[in-house]
Amino acid sequence: MKTLPMFLNGEWVEASEGHTREIFNPANNELLAVVTDGTERDAENAIAHARKTFDEGPWAKMRAPERASYLFKLADLIDAKADALAELETRNNGKPLREAKFDVADAAACFRYYAGLITKPLGQTYEVADPTIQSMVVREPIGVCGQVIPWNYPLLMAAWKLAPGLAAGNCCILKPAETTPLTAIELFKLIAEAGFPPGAAQLLLGPGPTVGHALAASHHVDKIAFTGGTVTGRKIMAAATGNIKKVTLELGGKSPCIVFADADFDVALEFAMFAIFAGQGEVCSAGSRLLLERKLADKFLPRLAEACGKIIVGDGLDPKTEMGPLITPQHLERVLHY
């Protein structure tokens, strides 16, 4: 099986030390692909390319309407490959195909949204005491942005990180989760087809403790954005202190789902289930605490338990499947331990 490469400085390259990683379908443990597995040296190469591109290249200096044209083209390319991307997302992540199709459409919409946003007036002016002086707020790109995403929404998270970062003129380095890199690889094929300047957007594959840490710790990276677990988020925040880079962390939570007795019973039941079982429950905003008004509880809980027992779990490509498998056997064991 041919090793799938990463995308650095406009070129598809394998890891500097030749490491690889096998990628499996969580529904049946089928080997889907072998991908290159980067090291700290690969991260440093990506950072160097992004730094040079931002400081000297055309992307940050490009006028907003021109940058927007790249994002619009990318959105069109995503739409054109929507069915193939959705199927690949389901095979790599496990989620039902209908959820994957929604994610792909949302990813394209995200690139279009930010492409439109940057062509709209954003400047602000303020009156000051001296009438001969004008005070103006000007928005400028931050610089080199490291972007680390999780495995629960592989393509959509990539869009949520890349679209605003690129739209603003930053040079972005995306590091997908080790278990779900396949749609990110396909996305970067489309980025290459759209003609983005080399170094403006790069795909860095590899484990979080090495390549992810390198992005967070590097003094040549101006911002690190991470979506994932709280333990890793603390490590990223600590690593980012070296040059006091800007940090955005979207971490896990225990989100409450609150139902009062005067709610529409069937609607409340439906959404209580959706809140915790959508995306296999592998969602940072999943409604993992159900708070019921006491006089409703005796009626609600038996109906909830009955409905949960009827959820069809299976391969996401099966149209009957309502909930796909958890991402890895190790994660399954972790959840069962809870």
Q: Is-catalytic flag, 17?
A: no
Residue-by-residue DSSP string for 34-81: EEE---HHHHHHHHHHHHHHHHHSSTTTS-HHHHHHHHHHHHHHHHHT
Residue 278's pLDDT is 92
CA 250 to chain centre: 10
**Which residue is catalytic, options 284, 308, 322, 333?**
284
**Residues with Cβ < 8 Å from 55, sequence gap 6 or more?**
none
- Pull the structure tokens for residue 176: 């997908």
* H helix or E strand, kind and range, residue 233: helix 230-239
CA 61 to chain centre: 26
Q: Is-catalytic flag, 284?
A: yes
Query: What CA–CA distances, in Å, run from 293 to 234, 257, 298, 300?
Result: 35, 11, 10, 10
Residue 95's pLDDT is 97
Nearest to 175 by CA among 221, 143, 106, 234: 221
Question: What CA dihedral angle connects 75, 90, 325 and 174, to 10 degrees?
Answer: -40
Q: How would you classify the pairing of strands 256-259 and 246-251?
A: unpaired
Cβ contact 171:76 at 8 Å:
no
- Which pTM does this prediction carry? 0.94
**Which residue is catalytic, options 40, 44, 87, 250?**
250
Reported as a single tens digit per residue, the pLDDT across 102-151 is: 999 999 999 999 999 999 987 788 888 888 888 988 889 999 999 999 99
Query: Which amino acid makes up residue 285?
Result: S
Residue 333's pLDDT is 95
Q: Does 258 have pLDDT greater than 80?
A: yes
